Amino acid sequence: MRNRSEGVEKYLIYLKSDNLVKEISIEFLRHLSPITIERIYRGLPIRGMVVRDDGLIYISAPVETRLEKPRNRMRRGNVAYSPSKRMILIALEDTKLNESVNSLGRVLDGLEELERLRTGHMVRLERE
């Protein structure tokens, strides 16, 4: 769902898995990385494998893009994309990264539910 409020274009994305009790709501904010977000949103649904490492969840997402407004820090609940790894990252804790990533947005609901995900679990990113 595209939503424009107060001049900021937002996309509501859902992360679903058989290993989760409920779906996770994620908000992409287009102004953070407009090219990357458009490419991910147009490519939905995306099905990928989870890799969990050092307070981060990585989800494989084969999207071709480049760095936009790169950052190397994430706060708990932030969502980003790594062009070099071609993966979406979700921070389970505040962390400093060894690489630069594109910020996408944040987890709106269900962050604690993400703790259930383990390496090898399959997830789906979908629109409404």
Q: Taking Cα atoms as reference points, which of 124, 57, 119 lies closest to residue 88?
A: 57
Query: What are the phi and psi torsion angles at 7 (to 5°)?
Result: 80, 0
Return the pLDDT at 7.
56
**Which sign, positive or negative, has the C-alpha torsion 63, 46, 32, 57?**
negative
* Mean pLDDT score, 38-46: 94
Lowest mean pLDDT: which of 6-10, 35-39, 89-93, 101-105?
6-10
DSSP state of 50: E
Q: Is the pLDDT of residue 38 over 70?
A: yes
Q: Is the pLDDT of residue 3 over 90?
A: no
Query: What are the phi and psi torsion angles at 112 (to 5°)?
Result: -65, -30
CA-CA distance, 44 to 125, in Å (whole number)? 7
pTM: 0.90
Q: Quick check: 97 and 62 in contact, CB under 8 A?
A: no
Q: Is the pLDDT of residue 1 over 80?
A: no
Query: What domains can you pick out in the chain, each with its CATH number?
Result: 2-126 (2.40.100.20)
Return the pLDDT at 73.
96
* Strands, E assignment, the chain: 2-5, 8-16, 24-29, 46-53, 56-60, 71-74, 78-82, 87-91, 95-109, 122-126
